[in-house]
Structure 1
Amino acid sequence: MKALSISSPPNLDSLELIEQDQPAPLPGQVGVRIRSIGLNRGDLLFCQNRYFIKPNPGSRLGFEAAGIVDALPADGKSNFKLGDKVALCPMSFDVHSQGTLAEYGAYNEASLIPSPDSVPDEHCGAIWMAYFTAWGGLIEAGGLKPGENVVITAASSSVGIAATQIANMIGANPIATTTSQEKAEILSQLGAPHVIVQDRDDEANLKYAEEVMSITQGKGSDLVFDAVAGPGTHGLVKASTRGGRIVIQGMLDRRPMDIHAGVLMKRLLTLKGYTVDQTLEQEQQKQRAITAIRRGFSEGHLQAVIAQSFSLSDYQSAFSTLSLNKHIGKIIITP
């Protein structure tokens, strides 16, 4: 079988497609024929040695995928049957030896989630990283409730789109932000009721804060779900209502954040960091997320948006497209 591997030193140029023996499932595992792989910013950072998980020479990569069960362990004991549609729960397996950018894998049953029947096979690999991140950040970390205003930055990303859909699903009022009019028009078509195009020259997001206040009739945002950080956090604070919450879930801008402690204190604001691990490591939170996300897909409230699909052999184009950061939705790879 073919699998993507990282040689040394780790960088995009060191990726190579290698041949490996197809693994046989051990007791407690099943073999999965991979049909679709979601490409995440974490994959890019991982192969650049900038992720919190560090690659080793020869590491596989890939944090999520979906496929079909096509082999059971030799003892025949399994909660799954041949032909079942399944997805891999992110962060539930060793990426170094079992990374999903491959044609096949043997995975522990505990790492598998039944894929929603309503989602095409080629889209199932685009669900769980984005929707786990969005659900956990909005609902578990952010405490979002029906009727609240929530600002979602970098809203054209797969996580941003998932967050907008989830906010709509629970009856909140999402305010999406993006960096171009073209992206804004597409986000509106995808169901964002309010979209703000941020001014690239307004690093502190002061104009954006004024627009949020206008949209919310002077109240401000109850929750900010932020993927950017950097100097623009100044505007996030100004756009927040008294007692509001700001959840930082990304660092697209790696410059220092601009937040005055006195403003946080006076406005009674809560600022917290969030990663998807916080949801995945707590079983009750994870199961709540799985139940809500599967229900959302089955009822039509949630829909994976695919930006572009690449073959596994064209992985270089896929990573290049991801690094340009101009796409809307999820990039997927199909073996």
Structure 2
Amino acid sequence: MKAVLIRGHGGPERVEVGELPLPEPGPGEVRVRVRAAALNHLDLWVRKGWSGLMLSFPHVLGSDVAGVVDAVGPGVDEPKVGAEVVLAPGLSCGRCVRCRSGEENLCRGYAILGEHVSGGQAEAVVVPARNALPLPPNLSFEEAAAVPLTFLTAWHALVARARVRPGETVLVHAAGSGVGVAAVQIAKLHGARVIATAGSDAKLERARALGADEVVNYEAKDFVQEVKRLTQRRGVDVVFEHVGRKTWEGSILACAPGGRIVTVGATTGYDPPTDLRHVFYRQLSILGSTMGTSGELLEVLRFVGEGRLRPVVDRVLPLARVREAQALLADRAQFGKIVLTP
């Protein structure tokens, strides 16, 4: 089969489309013929590598996958061959206390498809049967592939960790990114007022179309001052933070007393300075969040199926143009998700 793979860490030149043996499902597993696989910033980080990331090369990229089950391993009753599915990208042991309590993203053995194990930017991928969820009937494969990682991440962060409530004000950074697109919609679904930031007016208009109440171009204006203006100097109740160094200090200053900052990533750097005086004096909560549970993803897919959450596909490219796709993502030249098709 053809697959997007790396044979070592480094720059864009490390990414290639190569040939690998077609995988066979083992006990409790299914093989999915991939119809669409979306990119995430995670693909860029895995390509570059970091201390502690131990991979077996060649490594296949890709966390977000939709396709059709074409083979099942021993002991699998569901899904059946021919089922159209979208894959839950989180992998866990299924046996520990965390897993049995429905908190599999806190499992000590938790892994993400395409990060810790080979992923789905390929013609086929093998996963545990429990990770193959029914594809909502109103979605194309490309739209379905744009859902799992980013919508699950935003849902868990805003709903489970920050516990956003109706009437609160939520600041969503980089609203044109895959996770930003999800966060704007999820905050609105839960009755919040949303202030969205992005680096271009075109992206901000699209964020407004998704439900953002107010928008701020952080390349043209000081987003902290704009937040203060838009909230009559009060600040926001929740900051959805995934940018890191570039926005972190401002995110703290943009919070109202008693506000919550939930962080799911750090695309511009993971080591920003933090003035703790603002944290303890104004009694801010800083919450970390990674991925979510399969139950939460099922809930997300229900809302997507009802049309109350909408995946946004920026463009669809063939697998062979993966380097171009990664370059667009690195330059933040997209709004929503870039999707590859075999």
Considering the TM-score relative to the shorter chain, is it more than 0.5? yes
Deviation of 1:9 (Å): 4.8
Question: Unmatched 5+ residue regions in structure 2?
Answer: 92-111
Which residue does the alignment assign to 1:283? none
Indicate the residue corresponding to 1:232 in structure 2: 247
Corresponding position of 2:267: 252
Could you say what secondary structure the match of 2:31 adopts? strand
Q: Which has the higher contact order (CA 8 A, sep 6+)?
A: 2
The one-letter code matched in structure 2 to 1:78 is D
In structure 2, the CA distance between the partners of 1:23 and 1:258, relative to structure 1 (3 Å rule), is closer
Is residue 46–residue 55 contact of structure 1 (8 Å, CA) maintained in 2? no
Question: How far apart are 1:8 and its partner, in Å?
Answer: 3.3
Q: Is the 8 A contact 2:174 2:180 kept in 1?
A: yes
| Number of aligned residue pairs | 321
| Mapped partners of 1:191, 1:94: distance in 2 | 31
Question: In the alignment, which residue of structure 2 is the partner of 1:72?
Answer: 72
1:53-87 C-alpha deviation (Å, 9 max, x unpaired):
444432222122110112233x5742112221111
Q: Percent of counterpart pairs with the same letter?
A: 32
Which runs of 5 or more structure 1 residues have no equivalent in the other structure?
281-285
What TM-score, normalized by structure 2, do the two folds share?
0.87
The offset of 1:44, in angstroms, is 0.8
The CA distance in 2 between the partners of 1:105 and 1:209, in whole Å, is 44
Aligned to 1:65, the other structure's residue is in SS state: strand
Secondary structure of the equivalent of 1:37? strand
- 1:193 pairs with 2:205: no
Q: Aligned residue for 2:88? A: 89
Distance in 1, Cα, partners of 2:223 & 2:198: 11
Indicate conservation of the 8 Å contact 1:28/1:78, yes or no: no
Report the residue type matching 2:5 in the other structure. S
Deviation at 1:332, TM superposition (A): 0.6
Q: Which moved more, 1:257-266 or 1:296-305?
A: 257-266
Residue 116 of structure 1 is aligned with which of 129, 136, 158?
136
Q: 1:125 aligns with which of 136, 145, 168?
A: 145
The structural deviation recorded for 1:259 is 2.8
- Once superposed, what is the RMSD of the aligned Cα atoms? 2.1
Pairs within 5 Å for 1:1-335:
1-50=1-50, 53-73=53-73, 75=74, 77-92=76-91, 95=114, 98-199=118-219, 207-230=222-245, 232-254=247-269, 256-276=271-291, 279-280=292-293, 286-287=294-295, 289-335=296-342
Higher mean alpha-carbon deviation, 37-46 vs 210-219, is at: 210-219
TM-score between both structures, scaled by the size of structure 1: 0.89
Q: 1:197 to 1:32 in 2, by over 3 A?
A: same
Corresponding letter in the other structure for 1:172? A
Provide the rounded CA distance (Å) in 1 between the counterparts of 2:48 and 2:172: 27
* C-alpha displacement of 1:18: 1.8
